Amino acid sequence: MAEAADRATHEVGYREEKAPLLRKIIAQRMLESKQTVPHFYLTVDLDVEPLIAFRNELNEGRERKISFNDIIVKAIAMMLMEHPGCNASYVDDNIRYYDTANVCLAVAIDGGLLTPAVRHCEKKSIDEINEDSTQLIEKARNKKLRPHESIGGTFTLSNLGMYGIEEFIAIVNPPQALILAVGAIREVPVVKDGKITAGKRMKVTLSCDHRAVDGAMAAEFLADLKTSVVNNSSFSYRCPEPTRTVPRLDCDSKNSA
């Protein structure tokens, strides 16, 4: 069977290159994740009209624009503080719970992918997250990231919406327990007050390590993230110490402008 496959391969033209070090590391880590991490997946469809309106408001007169990622990173950090069981890793038969939200950003570069970590996002304003992420993404694309800037993450965000991808499933980035895959914003018909109208929607999928996080726990995290995005017309720059209730994202919204 193997010989037949090899003969079939040699019947077509091809070229073969040695995989660069980064690609080999990615291959090893992704294979390890899929073989050793029991994944499960949760998807929700978000009404992002409030998010779009808030971003437009933020960017009025700004030279460096706030991205959707910046706002979503802040919302994720708040939810991780509200759901500490999701801000965790399964390590050597122990569950390690983190007291800060270090959100990694999946950054595509030539020949691979890097995941720099924006640290202490729960304590930072959206402006500060924007500044840090802009610098880290630029470093990643120029291959100038320092080793410590890619470690210590507790959660990863991967966004392919800019490519028109409506929905996808990401692979958990060990030792983290969760990664959120963000799709494109779509204009779709929706029902409001019994009438069909145009709406803006965005699908997000949460991939989870079932060793550290159970389905109900992850579902509560994602449901609260959705509620925070859908039910608020503005989002926080900086928020107070978390409570267990679902937070509003409009606290202190102008204080850090």
Residues belonging to the active site: 210
Cross-strand pairs, 187: 200
Using CA atoms, how far apart are residues 36 and 32, in angstroms rounded to an integer? 6
Distances (CA, A) of 154 to 81, 90, 98, 116, 226: 12, 11, 7, 11, 20
Residue type, 101: A
Residue in 162, 158, 167, 170 with CA at minimum distance from that of residue 107: 158
Torsion of CA 256, 157, 82, 208, to 10 degrees: 180
